[in-house]
């Protein structure tokens, strides 16, 4: 019995070691206003978590992050909202001269600076962090027997050589990877790729929730090769079980934004009013696409969705109308 317990403890410690993020990242995480500790454990109450997508094909130490997502997790109401923030969003980054693309924060200061930059942009405390390497997620997807997604548009022969038809498709690991990488043969470029990565993460979550409880430890072992996080194994299991067997409310969106050029560089600009409205609804538990009146606690909070570090033009109506914007791609 003692030997088995020690073996189990060692197994969990090894898993946590392989998934662990650095102390600088942990120090950048903030205690949630709703009670989450920001210390590797998830509370019963809602909290914000930052998801960073990387790709082993191109990433290196402190290389630019491939995608950025902000998730609001509410275990009590079984609600999950995920918002993609375009990686080319024009912002000011603390300690860095000149305007930058938001994903450059990862390059200049690693995950810790990326967390603080996104937190300032969204106007919310970020309590937890996870870095997902899609290239290493192929084994998990195959272990699950594939994932089912609704492909928004057909494409063929892109940078991955993958061809997919629009509509419901069951993807294996390699197909999943090609889908999350594609941005050249789809009409929305990075907007479309952000949507694909959202669809994949949600499909993986749904497939995991459909597995027997006894399979969860093995799935977490598969996750360990693809995910780095501040959360410990026990907390991940507890959070998973909060959603297990439920019908979670899930909404995804992309930060309202548009593409523009400045000094020969392609950027994405935020739609300030629309972003503020979206974040107020998310924080109120209404979801990014929620309707109805926003509660006073959120509508009176000037920091929510304020995009305080955004550097794109405040007068953006003409730019939005002249270029591709997120609303053209994701409805």
The domain ranges of the chain are: 2-329
DSSP reduced 3-state for 193: helix
Query: Taking 70 as the threshold, does the pLDDT of residue 245 lie above it?
Result: yes
- Residue 322: per-residue pLDDT: 82
Residues 129, 270: Cα–Cα separation, whole Å? 23
| 59 within 8 A of 83, measured Cβ to Cβ | no
- Residue 8: per-residue pLDDT: 42
Residues 155, 196: Cα–Cα separation, whole Å? 13
Residues 229, 133: Cα–Cα separation, whole Å? 12
How many CA within 13 A on the CB side of residue 80?
18
Query: Taking 90 as the threshold, does the pLDDT of residue 310 lie above it?
Result: yes
pLDDT tens, 161-189? Answer: 899 999 999 999 999 999 999 988 888 88
Point out the least confidently predicted range of 2-11, 67-76, 220-229, 314-323.
2-11
- Residue 18: per-residue pLDDT: 60
Q: What DSSP state is assigned to residue 290?
A: -
Mean pLDDT of 202-207: 93
DSSP E strand stretches across the chain = 47-54, 67-74, 79-85, 90-91, 100-101, 128-133, 147-151, 167-171, 227-229, 249-254, 257-262, 265-270
Give one word for 275, left, alpha or beta, with left for phi > 0 and alpha for psi -120 to 50.
alpha
CB environment 3-20: b (16+ within 10 A), e (fewer): eeeeeeeeebeebbeebb
Q: What DSSP state is assigned to residue 272?
A: H
- Residue 324: per-residue pLDDT: 78
CB environment 197-219: b (16+ within 10 A), e (fewer): bbbbbbbbbbbbbeeeeeebeeb
- Residue 17: per-residue pLDDT: 59
DSSP reduced 3-state for 175: helix
| 71 within 8 A of 51, measured Cβ to Cβ | yes
What count of other Cβ atoms lies within 10 Å of the Cβ of residue 21?
21
Higher pLDDT, 3 or 299: 299
| 12 within 8 A of 233, measured Cβ to Cβ | yes
Mean of pLDDT over the chain: 86
Higher pLDDT, 126 or 5: 126
DSSP reduced 3-state for 131: strand
Residues 101, 98: Cα–Cα separation, whole Å? 10
Point out the least confidently predicted range of 21-25, 137-141, 229-233.
21-25
Query: Taking 60 as the threshold, does the pLDDT of residue 61 lie above it?
Result: no
Residue 69 phi/psi, 5° resolution? -135, 145
What six digits make up the tokens of 10? 């060692």
Query: Taking 70 as the threshold, does the pLDDT of residue 46 lie above it?
Result: yes
Residues 220, 218: Cα–Cα separation, whole Å? 5
User: What is the DSSP annotation of 213-248?
Assistant: GGGHHHHHHHHHTTEEESS-HHHHHHHHHHHTTS--
Query: Taking 50 as the threshold, does the pLDDT of residue 285 lie above it?
Result: yes
Query: Taking 60 as the threshold, does the pLDDT of residue 56 lie above it?
Result: no
Confidence of residue 16 (pLDDT cuts 50, 70, 90): low
Query: Taking 70 as the threshold, does the pLDDT of residue 132 lie above it?
Result: yes
| 36 within 8 A of 47, measured Cβ to Cβ | yes
Confidence of residue 64 (pLDDT cuts 50, 70, 90): low
CATH 1.10.287.610 fits 2-329, yes or no: no
- Residue 232: per-residue pLDDT: 87
Mean pLDDT of 242-249: 85
How many helices (H) does the chain have, and how many strands (E)? 12, 12
Q: pTM of the prediction? A: 0.88
- Residue 237: per-residue pLDDT: 85
Burial of residue 166 (CB within 10 Å: 0-12, 13-18, 19+) is: exposed
Percent of the chain clearing pLDDT 90 (strictly above): 60
Residue 70 phi/psi, 5° resolution? -115, 125
H or E segment and range at residue 34: none
């Amino acid at each position: 019995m003692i030997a088995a317990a020690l073996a189990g403890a060692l197994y969990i410690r090894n898993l946590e070691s392989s998934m662990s993020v650095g102390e600088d990242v942990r120090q950048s995480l903030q205690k949630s206003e709703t009670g989450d500790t920001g210390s590797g454990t998830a509370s019963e109450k809602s909290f914000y978590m930052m998801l960073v997508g990387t790709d082993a094909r191109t990433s290196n130490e402190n290389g630019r992050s491939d995608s950025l997502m902000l998730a609001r997790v509410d275990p009590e109401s079984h609600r999950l909202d995920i918002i993609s923030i375009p990686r080319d969003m024009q912002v000011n980054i603390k300690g860095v001269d000149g305007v930058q693309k938001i994903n450059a924060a990862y390059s200049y200061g690693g995950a810790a600076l990326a967390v603080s930059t996104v937190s300032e942009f969204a106007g919310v405390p970020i309590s937890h962090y996870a870095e997902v390497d899609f290239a290493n997620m192929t084994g998990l997807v195959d272990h699950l027997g594939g994932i089912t997604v609704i492909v928004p548009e057909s494409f063929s022969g892109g940078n991955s050589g993958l061809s997919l038809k629009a509509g419901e498709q069951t993807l294996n690991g390699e197909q999943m990877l090609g889908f999350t990488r594609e941005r050249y043969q789809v009409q929305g470029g990075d907007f479309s790729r952000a949507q694909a990565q959202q669809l994949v993460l949600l499909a993986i979550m749904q497939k995991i929730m459909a597995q027997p409880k006894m399979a969860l430890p093995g799935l977490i072992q598969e996750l360990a090769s693809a995910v780095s996080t501040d959360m410990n194994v026990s907390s991940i299991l507890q959070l998973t079980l909060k959603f297990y067997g439920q019908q979670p409310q899930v909404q995804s969106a992309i930060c309202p934004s548009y593409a523009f050029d400045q000094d020969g560089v392609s950027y994405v600009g935020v739609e300030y009013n629309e972003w503020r409205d979206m974040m107020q609804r998310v924080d109120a538990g209404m979801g990014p696409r929620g309707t109805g009146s926003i509660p006073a606690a959120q509508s009176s909070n000037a920091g929510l969705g304020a995009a305080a570090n955004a550097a794109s033009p405040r007068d953006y109506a003409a730019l939005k109308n002249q270029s591709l914007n997120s609303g053209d791609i994701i409805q």
